[in-house]
């Protein structure tokens, strides 16, 4: 929850206009679900909308200059609350939601609106989501509760049905690059985007050079593994020692690109699923195997904090990349 980039992402312009129109008409929703593509800036938009609600010049909100705006921008406004999973947890817990609900039920410190942001809201556990439902059913006056989620389908339908929805899609690559240049100056943003495999908002505070380097190295390693030119065990140990989360993102992206290129190649998907290899000169794993690997890489990524033998899990995945028979001799 760092400071916002000063240049608003242009791909959020439509969402911002809709919110401004609602605020000017006195129809700011009580509950807003911001459905974002990964890294597209859903939380940025929620933070911006909090400024819209907390600005002391409603006719020009968010003016960016009043005390309300400045405090909101710095995450120091007493009427702005943010709830995220606690450090040692991947879930937003019921106690956190109860605390937020109790805060929102109080009179605002500044005499205006109160805003609460739950992000990522798809990390609300079942009990926490149920507790939130009470607030959504009887929202206190002048409160703006925002749920930021990349996978809203993980939230109960009862919660979803009580929220107005707003989507933030990741921008086209050229637009993402232009914005990053504007916000951060020159750098290997293309390489950095390739490395994280997600929207540009993740890079708003990052150093592009090292990211791009790890991304490129990750792709080369995976190509080598798939060609039987790299050792799965040594690679798994190396990945386990540094930047594993980033490398797993790269792995995910690498698999996704292969799945796409298989589909784009024009072959019938059912045929691909049935056949052992993709058609074409570069025989490779079939689509079903690629999807299976993708699921397992994602699982490994979300389970990173859980103590497990990462190297062992990675090595097993790498062995499945190698051409059939290549690992047999080892």
Residue 27 CB, nearest approach to Zn ion (Å): 19
Residue 141 CB, nearest approach to Zn ion (Å): 21
Residue 179 CB, nearest approach to Zn ion (Å): 24
Cβ proximity to Zn ion, 58 vs 187, nearer residue: 58
Residue 32 CB, nearest approach to Zn ion (Å): 19
Cβ proximity to Zn ion, 50 vs 145, nearer residue: 50
Cβ proximity to Zn ion, 28 vs 118, nearer residue: 28
Cβ proximity to Zn ion, 50 vs 159, nearer residue: 50
User: Which residues contact Zn ion by CB under 5 A?
Assistant: 55, 63, 66, 69
Residue 56 CB, nearest approach to Zn ion (Å): 5
Interatomic CA distance for residues 24 and 32, integer angstroms: 17
Cβ proximity to Zn ion, 46 vs 159, nearer residue: 46
């Amino acid at each position: 929850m760092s400071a916002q980039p000063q240049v608003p992402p242009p791909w959020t312009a439509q969402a911002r206009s809709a919110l401004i129109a609602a605020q000017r008409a006195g129809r700011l929703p009580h509950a807003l679900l911001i459905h974002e593509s990964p890294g597209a800036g859903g939380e940025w938009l929620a933070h911006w909308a909090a400024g819209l609600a907390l600005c002391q010049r409603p006719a020009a909100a968010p003016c960016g200059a009043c005390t309300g705006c400045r405090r909101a921008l710095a995450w120091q406004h007493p009427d702005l609350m943010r709830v995220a999973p606690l450090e040692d947890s991947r879930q937003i817990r019921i106690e956190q939601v109860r605390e937020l609900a109790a805060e929102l039920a109080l009179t605002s410190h500044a005499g205006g609106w109160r805003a609460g942001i739950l992000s990522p809201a798809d990390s609300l556990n079942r009990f926490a989501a149920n507790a939130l439902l009470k607030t959504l059913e009887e929202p206190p006056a002048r409160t703006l509760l925002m749920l930021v989620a990349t996978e809203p389908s993980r939230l109960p339908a009862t919660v979803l049905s009580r929220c107005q929805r707003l989507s933030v899609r990741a921008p086209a690559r050229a637009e993402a690059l232009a914005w990053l240049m504007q916000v951060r100056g020159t750098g290997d943003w293309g390489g950095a985007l390739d490395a994280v495999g997600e929207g540009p908002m993740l890079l708003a505070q990052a150093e592009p050079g090292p990211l791009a380097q790890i991304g490129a190295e990750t792709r080369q390693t995976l190509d080598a593994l798939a060609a039987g030119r790299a050792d799965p065990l040594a690679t798994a140990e190396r990945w386990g020692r540094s930047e594993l989360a980033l490398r797993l993102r790269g792995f995910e992206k690498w698999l996704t690109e292969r799945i796409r290129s298989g589909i784009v190649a024009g072959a019938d998907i059912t045929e691909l699923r049935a056949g052992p290899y993709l058609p074409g000169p570069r025989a490779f794993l079939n689509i079903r195997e690629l999807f299976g690997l993708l699921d397992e890489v994602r699982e490994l990524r979300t389970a990173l904090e859980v103590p497990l033998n990462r190297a062992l899990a990675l090595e097993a995945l790498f062995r499945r990349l190698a051409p059939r028979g290549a690992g047999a001799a080892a």
